[in-house]
């Protein structure tokens, strides 16, 4: 039978038994509350039949509803006769339902007689005698308060809500449903053989309160643990008299566990049922030929899990059909088969369910994602350079990314992928993405079979044991002091060389502040863990075996500790904390889009992250460490010394088809005479410049705070980077060295305001943001930079205050003029001095800038003018 129909039948039967009881109650006590409940139930039945295309049922329900409506409006009195009439109407509905259940079609015939009576009643002509149609069974027994239905009058809404007493089994409801059998046999006279058949169908399934099942599950979990405990006691004691009974207990427990788990299992096909329709509609709408293949629909998984992945699956299939697959024409042109394929495949794999969603469409447009990532400020251009395509593709799971409408229109994915990932991670699953340009995209979802029992690896660190969910563990690496897999340290950050990759490591001892000495242990173990696309290693002292554990939430007073996802009791009866790989990854600075909460946290962290900067630390012209914001550096190159040429006495090199001037840090030219020379390439638009350095030391992420300002050209000042004093170089200075006109270069003295004024910098160009931020911070300002006017305005909404705003004029989206107007028009920022920055510095622009509310207007490359203007504006504000 059609799922929808059978669902309707169950639901309506439930409503009908409720209605019987309610109507009797109503007769005794015509309360508006009962009446409105009755009205609602009948209305729902009517509405659903209309939807399912059951006209006969609908008209009957409709007529009944009319009468009830009059009751409700007070136009009709609730009389026993009228109630009888409604009950007759319900009986007729039951009769029709019975027929539908048996044959999946409405019975022949009509209900004119009943409807006429109902209509007459609705018009106020109630016949107290209630002449039921001849064929109808005597209504009297029906009016009896249905002793057969043990279900109290609980409206369906209340049934859906969790019951308070878990013992409460709702089973009898659907069982009671076939009560209409009697009248239906009387009226529609189905063959006698059909009657037992339909009751048999109903008796095969019962509805059980989910809470009861959950309770059973918990009990079974406890039983499993106790069994494990017993097994451990007997282990190694083969001749124990308990061995045999325990063996049997063990088998029975396993069977019981499986049985109880099965009660919660549903085939994944239930979640797929709607997909063919969605795909068909899309294929018609978009004029694409799509072949949806569903493999493994019978694979069963936990009901709770199923509910949670339903929407993500639908979303992803829709994405594949909508954006993943090319149009039929396009496919023909590139020589692919016209019919695009979407394959859904579900199967079990070692305690997990794997669901693959693959299409043979165009694949993700990686180049487009790169651009968008950079534009959204999710990663710097430098970071992006170093990522491979798969890493870049992961950005479609980022929360902020989905809002970028351009990516979706071009590459197809984006909207809601963060939600998909969040939902999957919520149930302890993982999602992987593989994409190949022109070949297609596939998602692989790995989810636990059930949420109640997970398999976990037990590890030990500093004498304490911890559990790590097995699903996150990729592999285990054993290291000894003298093995080839040694732990190496970069500035206190441990790393491991693992198959030509550098694996970042986290010491559990340090992370959990376990104390004790890592000491001279001969060996340590590294648990290679994966969270999303981020792989890292957790250093532990020992690794035990894996155990099935029941995850229990930690006490409320410990919930704030993000390192633990729960706790559990092991086979030996001891309590053990379960580590949360997400939390650990989060604490190491890697932001992993997790639950909703982490998504929120990551937006705030993103903002915070703008305060932090990646700094490239290098040595040049001396042993002092020097640093430059990494974002300013376009590339790191090594140039063959032989390639260096000279032009006007200055060293240049041919680089990407152009001449690139080389500059040294101290003006002298002292490059290596042979070999390769490391060079930092700074680029803006068409021009690039190479800064010759001795050695590139590290890339670190720090909040750049220049501590000491120095009076030396080319240096912004000295900052503490990774605990070491580092000179921050002024890239701008070297740019002017290379290209005299890169910026205006007036050498004016400038006296900055020494109080830390807060400046908001709005500029869409990462280059200028990165250039100006250190410049302003060395001048004593506290700088917050954003890349669009919208973000700036949202800072206003969130309550941030600034002493001045510097804004670019040409920006995508809201431009500087509109932004100024928006700032001036309302809110707390209305009076803040605003300085416009623009490369177009014509008189007309100045005029317009002042009109919309800019305090001043500065040409973009005139740094000193900017600082001066800023100081003037701020002091003017202070005076005012």
Q: Which residues bind another protein (CB under 8 A)?
A: 222, 225-226, 464-465, 512-514, 552, 555-558, 560-561, 563-564, 567-569, 573-577
CB-CB neighbours of 120 under 10 Å = 14
Taking the least distance from each CB to another protein, the nearer of 189 and 575 is 575
Taking the least distance from each CB to another protein, the nearer of 514 and 708 is 514
Could you tell me whether strands 612-619 and 834-838 are parallel, antiparallel, or unpaired per DSSP bridges? unpaired
In the chain the first and final C-alpha atoms are separated, in Å, by: 80
State the nearest-atom distance from the C-beta of 514 to another protein, in Å. 6
With tokens 């016209």, the residue in question is 338
State the nearest-atom distance from the C-beta of 553 to another protein, in Å. 9
CA 616 from chain centre, in angstroms, equals 32
Alpha-carbon Rg for the chain in angstroms: 36
CA count, 13 A, side-chain hemisphere, 304: 16
Taking the least distance from each CB to another protein, the nearer of 96 and 468 is 468
State the nearest-atom distance from the C-beta of 462 to another protein, in Å. 9
Q: Return d(Cα 163, Cα 534) in angstroms, integer.
A: 42
State the nearest-atom distance from the C-beta of 532 to another protein, in Å. 23
Are the beta carbons of 628 and 614 closer than 8 angstroms?
A: no
State the nearest-atom distance from the C-beta of 166 to another protein, in Å. 14
State the nearest-atom distance from the C-beta of 554 to another protein, in Å. 8
Taking the least distance from each CB to another protein, the nearer of 464 and 810 is 464
With tokens 């309590």, the residue in question is 575
Residue 843 phi, psi (nearest 5): -60, -40
State the nearest-atom distance from the C-beta of 573 to another protein, in Å. 5
Are the beta carbons of 213 and 264 closer than 8 angstroms?
A: yes
Taking the least distance from each CB to another protein, the nearer of 577 and 841 is 577
CA 6 from chain centre, in angstroms, equals 34
CB-CB neighbours of 813 under 10 Å = 12
Q: Return d(Cα 811, Cα 831) in angstroms, integer.
A: 23
Taking the least distance from each CB to another protein, the nearer of 556 and 649 is 556
State the nearest-atom distance from the C-beta of 555 to another protein, in Å. 4
Q: Return d(Cα 561, Cα 575) in angstroms, integer.
A: 17
State the nearest-atom distance from the C-beta of 570 to another protein, in Å. 9
Taking the least distance from each CB to another protein, the nearer of 468 and 719 is 468
Taking the least distance from each CB to another protein, the nearer of 473 and 563 is 563
State the nearest-atom distance from the C-beta of 518 to another protein, in Å. 15
State the nearest-atom distance from the C-beta of 783 to another protein, in Å. 31
Q: Return d(Cα 124, Cα 106) in angstroms, integer.
A: 30
CB-CB neighbours of 228 under 10 Å = 20
Taking the least distance from each CB to another protein, the nearer of 58 and 580 is 580
State the nearest-atom distance from the C-beta of 557 to another protein, in Å. 4
Q: Return d(Cα 794, Cα 797) in angstroms, integer.
A: 5
Using DSSP's 3-state secondary structure scheme, residue 356 falls into: strand
State the nearest-atom distance from the C-beta of 466 to another protein, in Å. 9
Taking the least distance from each CB to another protein, the nearer of 577 and 779 is 577
Least Cα distance to 705 among 805, 605, 633, 778 occurs for 778
Q: Which two tokens stand for residue 178?
A: 């076939």
Q: Which two tokens stand for residue 653?
A: 């090199």
Are the beta carbons of 458 and 576 closer than 8 angstroms?
A: yes
Q: Return d(Cα 119, Cα 113) in angstroms, integer.
A: 10
Q: Which residues contact 259 (CB under 8 A, 6 or more apart)?
A: none
CA count, 13 A, side-chain hemisphere, 473: 22
DSSP 17: H
Taking the least distance from each CB to another protein, the nearer of 9 and 540 is 540
Taking the least distance from each CB to another protein, the nearer of 272 and 564 is 564
Q: Return d(Cα 814, Cα 371) in angstroms, integer.
A: 19
With tokens 């650990």, the residue in question is 584
State the nearest-atom distance from the C-beta of 220 to another protein, in Å. 12
Taking the least distance from each CB to another protein, the nearer of 558 and 830 is 558
Taking the least distance from each CB to another protein, the nearer of 350 and 515 is 515
State the nearest-atom distance from the C-beta of 723 to another protein, in Å. 24
State the nearest-atom distance from the C-beta of 563 to another protein, in Å. 6
Taking the least distance from each CB to another protein, the nearer of 105 and 555 is 555
Element (H, E) at 84: helix 80-103
Taking the least distance from each CB to another protein, the nearer of 328 and 567 is 567
Using DSSP's 3-state secondary structure scheme, residue 272 falls into: helix
Dihedral over Cα of 749, 754, 757, 761: its sign? positive
Q: Return d(Cα 210, Cα 475) in angstroms, integer.
A: 37
- Distances in Å between the Cα of 319 and the Cα atoms of 295, 416, 453, 708, 735 are 19, 10, 33, 53, 46
State the nearest-atom distance from the C-beta of 225 to another protein, in Å. 7
Taking the least distance from each CB to another protein, the nearer of 554 and 609 is 554
Taking the least distance from each CB to another protein, the nearer of 257 and 408 is 257
Are the beta carbons of 177 and 220 closer than 8 angstroms?
A: no
Helices 766-778 and 731-738: crossing angle in degrees, nearest 10, is 120
Q: Which two tokens stand for residue 442?
A: 């596939």
Using DSSP's 3-state secondary structure scheme, residue 434 falls into: strand
Are the beta carbons of 678 and 637 closer than 8 angstroms?
A: yes
Q: Return d(Cα 765, Cα 782) in angstroms, integer.
A: 19
Q: Which two tokens stand for residue 555?
A: 């006490």
State the nearest-atom distance from the C-beta of 580 to another protein, in Å. 12
């Amino acid at each position: 039978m059609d799922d929808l129909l059978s669902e309707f039948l169950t639901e309506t039967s439930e409503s009908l038994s409720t209605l019987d009881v309610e109507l009797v109650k109503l007769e005794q006590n015509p309360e508006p509350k009962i009446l409105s409940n009755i009205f609602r139930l009948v209305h729902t039945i009517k509405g659903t039949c209309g939807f399912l295309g059951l006209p006969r049922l609908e008209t009957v329900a409709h007529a009944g509803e009319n009468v009830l409506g009059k009751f409700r409006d007070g136009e009709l009195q609730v009389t026993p006769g009228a109630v009888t009439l409604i009950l007759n109407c319900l009986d007729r509905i039951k009769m029709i339902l019975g027929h539908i259940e048996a044959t999946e079609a409405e019975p022949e015939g009509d209900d004119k007689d009943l409807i006429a009576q109902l209509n007459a009643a609705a018009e106020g002509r109630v016949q107290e005698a209630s002449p039921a149609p001849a064929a109808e069974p005597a209504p009297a027994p029906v009016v009896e308060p249905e002793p057969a239905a043990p279900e109290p009058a609980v409206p369906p809404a209340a049934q859906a809500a969790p019951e308070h007493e878990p013992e409460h089994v709702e089973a009898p409801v659907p069982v009671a449903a076939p009560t209409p059998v009697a009248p239906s046999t009387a009226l529609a006279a189905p063959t006698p053989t059909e009657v037992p058949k339909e009751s048999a169908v109903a008796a095969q399934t019962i509805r059980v309160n989910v809470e009861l099942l959950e309770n059973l599950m918990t009990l079974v979990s406890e039983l499993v643990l106790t069994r494990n405990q017993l097994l451990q006691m007997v282990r190694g004691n083969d001749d124990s008299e308990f061995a045999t009974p325990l063996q049997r207990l063990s088998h029975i427990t396993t069977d019981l566990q499986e049985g109880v788990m099965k009660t919660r299992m549903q085939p994944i096909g239930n979640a797929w049922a709607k997909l063919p329709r969605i795909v068909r509609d899309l294929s018609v709408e978009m004029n694409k030929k799509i072949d949806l293949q569903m493999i493994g629909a019978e694979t069963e998984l936990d009901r709770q899990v199923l509910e949670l992945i339903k929407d993500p699956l639908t979303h992803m299939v829709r994405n594949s059909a909508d954006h993943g697959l090319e149009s039929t024409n396009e496919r023909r042109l590139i020589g692919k088969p016209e019919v695009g394929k979407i394959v859904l495949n579900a199967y079990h794999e070692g305690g997990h369910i794997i669901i693959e969603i693959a299409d043979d469409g165009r694949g993700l447009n990686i180049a487009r994602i790169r651009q968008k990532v950079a534009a959204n400020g999710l990663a710097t251009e430098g970071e992006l350079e170093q990522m491979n395509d798969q890493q870049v593709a992961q950005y479609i799971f980022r929360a902020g990314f989905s809002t970028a409408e351009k990516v979706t229109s071009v590459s197809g994915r984006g909207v809601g992928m963060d939600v998909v990932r969040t939902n999957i991670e919520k149930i302890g699953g993982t999602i992987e993405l593989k994409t190949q340009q022109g070949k297609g995209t596939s998602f692989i979802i790995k989810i636990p079979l059930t949420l109640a029992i997970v398999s976990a690896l037990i590890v030990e660190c500093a004498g304490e044991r911890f559990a790590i969910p097995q699903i996150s563990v990729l592999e285990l690496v054993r290291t000894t002091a003298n093995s080839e897999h040694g732990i190496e340290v970069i500035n206190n950050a441990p790393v491991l060389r693992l198959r030509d990759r550098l694996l970042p490591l986290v010491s559990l001892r340090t992370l959990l502040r376990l104390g004790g000495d890592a000491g001279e242990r001969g060996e340590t173990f590294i648990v290679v863990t994966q969270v999303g696309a981020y792989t890292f290693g957790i250093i532990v002292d020992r690794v035990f075996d894996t155990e099935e554990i029941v995850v229990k939430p930690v006490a409320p007073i410990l919930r704030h500790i993000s390192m633990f996802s729960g706790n559990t009791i092991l086979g030996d009866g001891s309590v053990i904390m379960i580590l949360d790989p997400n939390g650990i990854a989060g604490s190491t600075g890697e932001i992993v889009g997790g639950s909703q909460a982490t998504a929120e946290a990551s937006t705030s962290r993103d903002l915070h992250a703008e305060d932090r900067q990646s700094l490239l630390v290098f040595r040049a012209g001396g042993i002092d460490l020097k640093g430059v914001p990494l974002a300013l550096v376009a590339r790191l190159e090594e140039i063959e010394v032989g390639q260096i040429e000279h032009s006007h006495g200055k060293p240049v090199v041919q680089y990407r088809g152009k001449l690139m001037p080389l500059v040294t840090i101290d003006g002298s030219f002292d490059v290596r005479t042979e070999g390769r020379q490391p060079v930092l390439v700074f680029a803006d638009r068409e021009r690039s410049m190479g800064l010759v350095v001795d050695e590139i030391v590290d890339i670190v992420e720090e909040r750049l705070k220049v501590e000491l300002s120095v009076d030396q050209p080319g240096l912004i000042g000295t900052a503490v980077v990774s605990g070491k004093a580092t000179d921050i170089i002024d890239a701008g200075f070297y740019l002017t060295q290379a290209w005299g006109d890169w910026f205006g270069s007036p050498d004016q003295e400038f006296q900055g305001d020494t109080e830390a004024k807060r400046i908001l910098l709005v500029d869409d160009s990462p280059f200028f943001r990165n250039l100006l931020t250190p410049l302003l911070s060395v001048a004593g300002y506290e700088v917050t930079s954003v890349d669009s006017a919208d973000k700036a305005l949202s800072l206003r909404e969130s309550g941030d205050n600034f002493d001045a705003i510097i804004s670019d004029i040409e920006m995508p989206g809201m431009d500087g003029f509109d932004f100024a107007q928006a700032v001036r028009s309302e809110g707390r920022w209305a009076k803040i001095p605003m300085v416009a920055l623009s490369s177009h510095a014509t008189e007309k622009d100045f005029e317009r800038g002042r009109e919309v509310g800019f305090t001043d207007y500065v040409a973009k490359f005139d740094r000193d003018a900017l600082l001066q203007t800023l100081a003037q504006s701020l002091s003017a504000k202070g005076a005012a």
